[in-house]
Amino acid sequence: MSLTQEQLVQLKSSVIERDSQFDALNAYINKDAALSSSCILVNSFKPVGKTLVVKAFLKMMGLRHSIIQCDECVSKQMLLQRCYNSLLHDSGIPTTNKNHYVPSTSENFASLLSALEDFIVKNDYREHHVLVLDRFDQVFENCESMISALSRFKECSKVQNLTVVVIFNGAVPRDVVTYTNPNVYFPVYNETQLVRILQQEKLCKFTFHVDESEARKEEFYKQYAKVVVDSFFDYTGSDVTLLKSLVVKLWDGFVDPIRLGNYKMTDFVKLYKENIEMFSARDDLVCSSNVIEYRTLQNEDNVGFANVQDLPLHSKFILLASYLASHGNQRNDLHKYAKVKVFKYKKRASNKAGKQGHLSKSDIDNRLLTANYVDLERILAILSVIYQHSAPSLNQSDKNDLLYLDDKVVENELKKDQEKSKFTLTRNIDLNNQIATLFSLGFLGKTATSDILAARIRWKCNLDWPTVEAIAKSVNFPITDFLADA
């Protein structure tokens, strides 16, 4: 039995602008597990309420369900283990009757299915249970093969009371498109829909006494929410999460003149003109609400020499390479990094800017400019050069070779060749992990977009010059030679 028409109307009134999605879920998920689909795919390209809609639907239907945050799982084994533990915990069966979980059951999907069969048979658990895999595409390990198994587990096992809902933050993978699983697509919101959603949410309220009716306060908030959407929609798009954070963040400053007694609640236009600068600083506000690309003040304070001093040697060279790439001119890379030995590359000075009476861009020290976003391939190319030619064992002078015996000279050359062969970017499995760690610490920044047709992700160094100079001195690397006329 699915939801009745009255229940659907109530559900659609609580979560608006998603009527067709509720109808689709109501068609694919039934209180009777035999009439429900085995696996349902839910996807969209932005935060548009996928998880909220699924949770609200399951709560209204009254089904037992387990929600797994897949982006917190670093491997397929961890994901399977969380699925098993959540299913047992949310089944409602007392702990004493549950099977003791053995970690080996999470080695593959077949082991998990076998453990679930034992649990269902021993406890006679027949109630319909829904497993929601949220952000499935953000698992650190590729788990697309699981969807094929989830689509057919009812055909080859005794687990007949389970329905799986897989939520993607993007397009459905190509390997999954050919499956017969139903797909519920969530289109992005338009500006009018976002206004209605934020007005219904009622995210803000007055924290001080206002001598007005509740209806007038509600009308004031609706006007405020519409102004926020109108001002920032071109920057945020249909990102509901980002717009909600902006509504909450700007509220106190917007109503502060009312608290001070300068304006009344009826003077909305005057309030807007008073706070026009608040809605004009769009770049700063949007970036500060975007957790992916923004470095908070706390992270700014943490970025310092005291924090980078304990980094591994390779991480320090990664930071040096990213700084050189972010502040250097790509056209000069061949002159700077093509030679085995470092030499100071100088560009012939031009008197044209002096005759014009002002400085040109080439006359400004790049260390005073903002770091540019660059491709990861360029950073890795610079990294391979500066590490191989600046590591202590690879950059030793040969003037003392005459003091050694022949065997000692050969031994030193063998050590150099061995170190060169070990540090190759294609074989070093820790390189990507170190870059991810540096990004999580705020030392590196990157651009991020949910548009699959957009350009590739680009990176930049977030460290200032004193910190980079200190790192270069700690590894005895002449970074100033590479920055002259960058």
Q: Residue ranges per domain, the chain? A: 5-185, 191-289, 297-354+363-483
Q: Which CATH number fits domain 5-185: 3.10.129.10, 1.10.275.10, 3.40.50.300, 3.40.1440.60?
A: 3.40.50.300
Q: Does residue 323 register a pLDDT over 80?
A: yes
Higher pLDDT, 479 or 284: 479
Identity of the residue numbered 430: D
Backbone angles phi, psi at 451, to 5 degrees: -80, 120
Q: Quick one: average pLDDT of 471-483?
A: 84
Q: Does residue 308 register a pLDDT over 80?
A: no
pLDDT attached to residue 150: 87
DSSP assignment of 445-482 = EE---S-TTSPPPEEEE---HHHHHHHHHHTT--HHHH
Considering only CA atoms, which of 297, 187, 195 is closest in space to residue 243?
195
How many CB atoms lie under 10 A from the CB of residue 7? 16
The partner residues of 163 in beta bridges, in order of sequence, read 130
Q: Does residue 401 register a pLDDT over 60?
A: no
Residues in Cβ contact with 25 at an 8 Å cutoff, skipping those fewer than 6 apart: 40, 53, 54, 57, 184
pLDDT attached to residue 297: 45
Q: Quick one: average pLDDT of 27-53?
A: 91
Task: Provide the 8-state DSSP code for 361.
Answer: G
Backbone angles phi, psi at 395, to 5 degrees: -115, 25
pLDDT tier for residue 247 given thresholds of 50, 70 and 90: very high
Q: Which tokens go with 91? A: 């089944």
Instruction: Express each pLDDT in 86-138 by its tens digit.
Output: 999 999 887 654 454 444 545 688 888 888 899 898 889 999 999 999 999 88
Q: Does residue 429 register a pLDDT over 70?
A: no
pLDDT attached to residue 385: 82
pLDDT attached to residue 449: 60
On whether the CB atoms of residues 226 and 220 are closer than 8 A, the answer is no
Identity of the residue numbered 248: V
Question: What percent of the chain has pLDDT above 70?
Answer: 75
Q: Does residue 42 register a pLDDT over 90?
A: yes
pLDDT attached to residue 165: 96
Instruction: Express each pLDDT in 172-222 by its tens digit.
Output: 888 787 788 999 999 999 999 999 999 998 899 898 888 889 999 999 999
Backbone angles phi, psi at 165, to 5 degrees: -115, 115
First to last CA, the chain: 70
pLDDT attached to residue 423: 55
pLDDT tier for residue 390 given thresholds of 50, 70 and 90: low
Considering only CA atoms, which of 19, 41, 16 is closest in space to residue 28?
41
Higher pLDDT, 24 or 446: 24
pLDDT attached to residue 76: 87
Higher pLDDT, 432 or 37: 37
Higher pLDDT, 371 or 163: 163
Could you give the CA distance from residue 189 to residue 178 in angstroms, rounded to a whole number? 28
Higher pLDDT, 133 or 449: 133
Higher pLDDT, 319 or 345: 319
Name the CA radius of gyration of the chain, rounded: 30
Higher pLDDT, 412 or 434: 434
Answer positive or negative: Cα dihedral of 212, 216, 221, 226. Answer: negative
Could you give the CA distance from residue 371 to residue 418 in angstroms, rounded to a whole number? 35
Instruction: Express each pLDDT in 208-222 by its tens digit.
Output: 888 889 999 999 999
Residues in Cβ contact with 292 at an 8 Å cutoff, skipping those fewer than 6 apart: 448
Q: Is 414 exposed, middle or buried (0-12, 13-18, 19+ CB in 10 A)?
A: exposed
Q: Does residue 442 register a pLDDT over 50?
A: yes
pLDDT attached to residue 425: 52
